[in-house]
Amino acid sequence: MDRTLSPTTRNSAHAVGLAEWLKRRGVRAPHKPALTCDGVTWSYGELIDRVERMSTVLAAGGVTPGARVGYLGFNDPMFLVVMFAASRIGAIFVPLNFRLTGPELAFIINDAGIHSLVVGESHIAIIDEVRGGLNSTRYIHRAGGAEGWEAADALMAGAPSLPMPAAVPTGADDVALIMYTSGTTGHPKGAMLTNGNFWANNLNEIFLWDLGSTDVTLNFAPMFHVGGLLCGTMSTLLAGGHVVLQRAFEVQAVLDAIVEYRVTITFGVPAMLLFISQHPSFETADLSSLRSIAVGGAPMPEPLLRLYEARKIPVQQGYGMTETASMITFLHPDRTADKLGSSGTPPMMTEIRLLDANDQEIDEAGVPGEICVRGSNVMPGYWNRPEVNASIFTSDGWFRSGDIGYRDADGFLFLCDRLKDMVISGGENVYPAEVESVLYDHPDIAEVAVIGAPDERWGERVVAVVAPKPGKTMTLEALNAFAGAKLARYKLPKELRIVEALPRNPTGKVLKAKLREHNVPAAATNA
């Protein structure tokens, strides 16, 4: 990778690397709380000290500008320390999904060409299983003691005896992080996110939420995912606020933290908000400090939005992707009620347009099309995937999201579904998210997902996969009797499958590919 910076890039207002803006923020208020985890709080000065020590450790071990540094483990302050430390010396950070198997991790580690791998205690064994096939040079974990692993704490303690490397200036177009997508089809792909992408997304969030140094953001979403890292966490640090980090999502701990730290901002996917709303403490917990719960990752069912609205908790639907460094659209708080179900409008640094199947722009309200995105938050492409990169942008440079949506007369975006999740039944397009939103209103349903299954008569049939509430049962006839008043007949499920719980990934998204694995062609349906 060419690390040469032109004078224009070097002097650009956007040419601020992650570690550089953190230090600029920290020197303004070094004693202010920056990060809390497990009841331990670091000030901005303490966080920056740890970043500088870790950058010394990485550089001493051979990490050079452009090299990749990986992190595998549950949410931990060390995640942020390693990320900012890598940035400080011009390296590229690669967060790894802690739910993956050894072979899945091995593919990503080798595909990214990770030089130094930092691993949490809980994940040493899984790396040891595949270590013989890895091309990494150095293996570090937190405490030490495991054979063949260096101890991060000891290395950082000894860092003052080593020469601290000079901070490497980086530009807006330099890759800061490679974040791998979930890989629902084939191998996962690494989205290259640049310093400019981070900067644009941070500004988008600061403008939208009016983030400031008095804000407290709670993060319980996994940070290897764009939602956990970029929906509030990074922008709060840039604004000089306080991030409260939880290692995993646990409903009671979330409610307790909101009360204890007077949390103002948090992010979750719809499943997380569903589980919070079903907890016995939800009705009584003092959540008055919250001024925004941002929700994304999947369309938010309207019944769930109404439930939080009745509790006077401001939930704001947003829409984003890994490839766009998170944010594409966001619904402002003062429009939550009158635009219920919308994911809002683009933020300051981003534009969208809708294209039909012939790549013609759709201007008419209410007509669905593929959402395409342009802005300084959009990635330049996928790591080592030139053949894919050639197909993901339009001829005039708009990123193809693969998502379907429509705009109302006021220009507010409403998501229909993923292009790949759309069910075509009898020639009609059925958007599963629309059907799911109606079914979530059923009092006996805890969770529901809608998928398509091969059908000899209709091409595809609509299938509802339902997890009933404890002690409840469900029949297809009763389900369709409930939904028939709100959905056209062709949208109604023709098959019902009962499960105890829906399969989800670590961020709470339903794994519809796993549900589809059980699909088999059928000669007859329950139509």
27-52 pLDDT, tens digit each: 999 999 999 999 999 999 999 999 99
pLDDT of residue 519: 63
Q: How far is CA 101 from CA 136, 319, 365, in A?
A: 17, 29, 45
Mean pLDDT of the chain: 89
Q: pLDDT digits over 217-226, tens only?
A: 999 999 998 9
Own/partner pairs for 248-254, CB < 8 Å, 24+ apart? 248/74, 248/75, 248/220, 248/222, 249/220, 249/221, 249/508, 250/220, 251/275, 251/276, 251/279, 251/281, 252/279, 252/281, 253/220, 254/218, 254/220
CATH number at residue 150: 3.40.50.12780
Residues 365 and 450 in one domain: no
Q: How confident is the model at residue 413 (pLDDT cuts 50, 70, 90)?
A: very high
Q: pLDDT digits over 134-178, tens only?
A: 999 999 998 877 888 999 999 999 999 999 999 999 999 999 999
Q: Classify 515 as helix, strand or coil.
A: helix
Residues 171 and 220 in one domain: no
Q: Is residue 275 part of a domain?
A: yes
Residues 357 and 486 in one domain: no
pLDDT of residue 432: 84
pLDDT of residue 13: 45
Q: Is residue 522 part of a domain?
A: no
357 residue type, one letter? A
Residues 179 and 237 in one domain: no
CATH number at residue 467: 3.30.300.30
Mapping DSSP onto H, E and C, the string for 152-212 reads HHHHHHCHHHCCCCCCCCCCCCCEEEEEECCCCCCCCCEEEEEHHHHHHHHHHHHHHHCCC
Q: pLDDT digits over 261-307, tens only?
A: 999 999 998 889 989 999 999 999 999 999 999 998 776 778 888 88
State the helix-helix crossing angle for 432-439 and 476-483, rounded to 10 degrees: 100
pLDDT of residue 323: 96
Residues 252 and 134 in one domain: no
Residues 427 and 360 in one domain: no
Nearest C-alpha neighbor of 413 from the set 444, 375, 452, 370: 370
pLDDT of residue 426: 67
Q: Is residue 382 part of a domain?
A: yes
Asked if the model's pLDDT at residue 6 lies above 50, the reply is no
CB under 8 Å to 242, separation ≥6 — which residues? 32, 33, 34, 35, 36, 215, 216, 217, 236, 261
What are the backbone angles phi and psi of residue 326, rounded to the nearest 5°? 95, -90
Greater confidence (110 vs 337) lies with: 110
Residues 155 and 75 in one domain: yes
Residues 74 and 143 in one domain: yes
Number of structural domains found in the chain: 3
Residue at which a domain ends, from 388, 418, 448: 418
Residues 301 and 446 in one domain: no
Angle at alpha carbon of residue 280, lines to 276 and 286, rounded to 5°: 75
Q: How confident is the model at residue 63 (pLDDT cuts 50, 70, 90)?
A: very high
Pairing state of beta strands 68-72 and 92-96? parallel
Give the structural domain span for 69: 7-16+39-188
Residues 68 and 141 in one domain: yes
Residues 175 and 288 in one domain: no
Beta-bridge mates of residue 40: 37
Q: Is residue 370 part of a domain?
A: yes
Concatenating the DSSP letter of every residue in 283-336 gives TTS--TT-SEEEE-SSPPPHHHHHHHHHTT--EEEEEEEGGGTEEEEE--GGGT
Q: Is residue 414 part of a domain?
A: yes
Residue at which a domain ends, from 418, 443, 465: 418
Q: pLDDT digits over 181-193, tens only?
A: 865 446 789 999 9
Q: How far is 314 from 312, CA to CA, in rounded Å? A: 6
Residue at which a domain ends, from 403, 418, 433: 418
Q: Is residue 526 part of a domain?
A: no
Within 13 Å of residue 54, how many CA atoms lie on the same side as its CB? 31
Asked if the model's pLDDT at residue 362 lies above 60, the reply is yes
Nearest C-alpha neighbor of 192 from the set 313, 111, 302, 97: 111
Q: Is residue 347 part of a domain?
A: yes
Q: Is residue 523 part of a domain?
A: no
Residues 206 and 323 in one domain: yes
Q: pLDDT digits over 297-352, tens only?
A: 776 778 888 889 888 888 888 999 999 999 999 998 788 778 888 899 999 999 99
Q: How far is 61 from 413, CA to CA, in rounded Å? A: 48
When mean pLDDT is compared across 122-131, 420-429, 474-483, the lowest value belongs to: 420-429
Q: How far is CA 282 from CA 248, 252, 310, in A?
A: 19, 9, 12
Query: What would the mean pLDDT of 53-70 be, rounded to a whole number?
Result: 98
Q: How far is 24 from 216, CA to CA, in rounded Å? A: 20
